[in-house]
Structure 1
Amino acid sequence: MRLAQIQMHVTADKTANLRYAEELLHSVRGADMAILPEMFCCPYDNSCFRAYGEPAGGAAYQMLSRTARELGLWLVGGSLPELEAGRVYNTSFVFDPQGACIARHRKMHLFDIDVEGGQRFRESDTLSPGNDVTLFDTPWGRMGLCICFDLRFEELCRVMALEGARVLLAPAAFNMTTGPAHWELLLRQRAVDNQCFTVGTSPARDESASYVAWGNSMVCDPWGTVLHCCGVGEEVAVTELDMTRIDAVRRQLPILSARRTDVYELRRV
């Protein structure tokens, strides 16, 4: 499977962001699947989420559907602020090569952190959480979808793997505090834990933004090997995923198929 990651700059102009994302997607003709970054059409800022938001079927949704159909591409539409019933969700829509929306993931774990001397952000000031584990089927097997902070929750990733996910896809926007500390570590760890490919796709770094993304979009294989890592600027990267690698690793280290004891008895001495 040829997977394209679109690590793009995101500006304050939503229309320009959509037009640019469409242009970059057209540059990867021949890829089987493409993935955009978290909040690809919107500055990552609480003050912007509602203002830039749209209901399902809005301008961003229509562009993604149309582009998937035109290119015959499986398209993971990064994420965008979705409006529904007065709430705002951080949502990723997935489209098949006919342009049909086949999956929707609303970020379950909102990014509420306060790192002393580093990043402070509270998504919950504006966004509402989703509650669905999101998987979708493709010709290359089942895919699991999460968004950024979701990746930190090993239980969610394990559930997706146990439900058949062979690739874990994560549009994300780690920052200059969490990025250097945990980005590569988490992607490699989830790949090794679940013996699958992991794909983290970030916006390009913009030092002038109110929230500075780490960049470094990355693909890891089921052995934890980094197959590709973008730099910090704009990049369109196409990585070939050898899906037979998953079965080979799972045969050699049968972790997912091993019998597990769910309740451990504590013995007192």
Structure 2
Amino acid sequence: MKTALIQLTSSDDPRENLATVSEYIDQAVDVGAQFLLTPEVTNCVSSSRDHQRSVLKTEDEDETLPALREKAKSHGVWLLIGSLGLKTNDPDGRFANRSFMIGPDGEIRARYDKIHMFDVNVSAEETYREPAGYRPGNQAVVADTDFMPIGMTVCYDVRFPMLYQKLALAGAKVLTVPAAFSYVTGAAHWESLLRARAIETGCFVLAPAQTGTHSASVGNTRKTHGHSLAVSPWGEVLLDAGTEPGIHIFDMDDKSVELARQKVPSLQHIRAFDGP
């Protein structure tokens, strides 16, 4: 299956970002892509909670979601919207960081709310308090498609291997990791983590990413690592998108999953144990 990772430098303006990603989807389809993936927070990258509250909408009111559903339908392609920042009805006002699998009929086939929240001090200048703005999900999700089952995750989830093991045991052959990865931690850990998740599970790992310096009308600008990756079930990097926004195409073959799992059937060797 011809697959496209769409790498973005999203701003804090959802309408501007929708126009950009729509154009990239058209370009990817023009060169034959049948499965397309966008990064985390496709609709808005912002460090300002006040700005997010002013521009983000609930799922029912959001403008990006129906527009991208229509794109998938009009082109007849599968589309993973890596995630959208969405308002919720939570009393504390926190947002959802929600990934969507869209079918070629434009219907939402699966939703996944990011489980693990990024709450770290990377450096004196770079801190993240995602739980202050986003509420964590609690449900792991495998999306059914007409090519391979897809285990859906988002960004910081990649540091928690038990989630990926459970997705693979539930039938996933592809694991998606859309991200807006920190520039500092990305340089140190991004590729290693993604290759490890592929090797441990015998799955393809597809990680469309935000990249570069993100313009902001309010608050501080943010810088992300880029390097959208496609990793084979054997742990080989099939595609590294570097740091430029755009579309990046590769072919995905489900036979690779079976071959990798035959060589090292580690999922069949999992044992329960006691302690510590």
* TM-score scaled by length of structure 1: 0.93
1:144 paired residue number: 151
Match of 2:22 in 1: 22
Conservation of the 8 A alpha-carbon contact between 2:227 and 2:241 = yes
Q: Distance in 2 between matches of 1:132 and 1:44?
A: 26
Quick one: which of 115, 120, 126 aligns to 1:119? 126
CA contact (8 A) 2:116 2:156 kept: yes
Report the Cα offset of residue 207 of structure 1. Answer: 6.7
Q: Offset of 1:226 from its aligned partner?
A: 0.3
Cα deviation, residue 78, structure 1:
1.7
What is residue 81 of structure 1 aligned with on the other side? 85
| Per-residue CA distance 1:84-114 (angstroms, 9 max, x = gap) | 2144111111110000001111111111111
8 Å CA contact retained: 1:52, 1:81:
no
Q: How many residues align?
A: 265
**Structure 1 residues 67 and 265 mapped into 2: Cα distance closer, same or farther (>3 Å)?**
closer
Deviating 4+ runs (over 4 angstroms): none
In the alignment, which residue of structure 2 is the partner of 1:39? 41
CA contact (8 A) 1:37 1:202 kept: yes
Where does structure 1 lack aligned partners over 5 or more consecutive residues? none
Contact 1:50/1:81 (8 A) holds in 2: no
TM-score (norm 2): 0.91
1:232 maps onto 2:243 in alignment: yes
Question: Partner letter of residue 160 of structure 1?
Answer: L
2:205 and 2:144 map into 1 onto residues whose CA distance is 16
Q: In the alignment, is the contact (CA less than 8 A) between 1:161 and 1:194 conserved in 2?
A: yes
Match of 1:221 in 2: 232
Q: Contact (CA 8 Å) 2:11, 2:215: kept in 1 or not?
A: no
Partner amino acid for 1:49?
Answer: Q
Match of 2:165 among 155, 158, 164: 158
Bigger drift between 187-196 and 43-52 goes to 43-52
> Cα–Cα, structure 1 residues 265 and 8, in superposed 2: closer, same or farther, change >3 Å?
closer
| More displaced 10-residue stretch of structure 1: 47-56 or 153-162 | 47-56
Classify 1:46/1:92 alpha carbon distance in 2 versus 1 (closer, same or farther; 3 Å): farther
1:205 equivalent in alignment to 2:205 = no
- Give the distance between the partners of 1:62 and 1:202, measured in 2 at CA: 22
Query: Cα offset for 1:249?
Result: 1.0
Distance 1:202 1:94 in 2: 17
In structure 2, the CA distance between the partners of 1:265 and 1:42, relative to structure 1 (3 Å rule), is closer
Distance 2:189 2:203 in 1: 19
Pick aligned residue for 1:128 from 115, 135, 140: 135
List per-residue Cα deviations over 1:132-183 (Å, max 9, x = no partner).
Answer: 1011111222100101001111011111010011010011011121100110
Does 159-168 or 10-19 show the bigger shift? Answer: 10-19
Quick one: distance in 1 between partners of 2:44 and 2:107? 23
1:90-101 → structure 2 map (5 Å cutoff): 90-101=97-108
C-alpha distance in structure 2 between counterparts of 1:76 and 1:195, whole Å: 21
- Contact 1:53/1:80 (8 A) holds in 2: no
2:272 paired with 1:262:
yes
Give a deviation string over 1:180-220, Cα, whole Å, max 9, x none. 01100011000001111101111121276622010000000
Q: Relative to 1, partners in 2 of residues 1:208 and 1:67: Cα closer, same or farther, differing over 3 Å? A: closer
Cα RMSD (Å) = 1.6
Q: Quick one: which amino acid aligns to residue 93 of structure 1? A: F
Residue identity matched to 1:10: S
Q: Distance in 1 between the 2:53 and 2:173 partners?
A: 34
Q: Percent identical across equivalent pairs?
A: 32
State the 1:125 CA deviation.
1.4
Q: Which residue among 248, 256, 262 is the counterpart of 1:251?
A: 262
Q: Of residues 61, 66, 72 in structure 2, which corresponds to 1:68? A: 72
Q: Cα–Cα, structure 1 residues 161 and 118, in superposed 2: closer, same or farther, change >3 Å?
A: farther
Give 5+ residue unaligned stretches, structure 2: none
Q: Does 1:51 align with 2:58?
A: no
How far apart in 2 are the matches of 1:188 and 1:205? 22
247 and 206 in structure 1: CA distance in 2 versus 1, 3 angstrom threshold: same
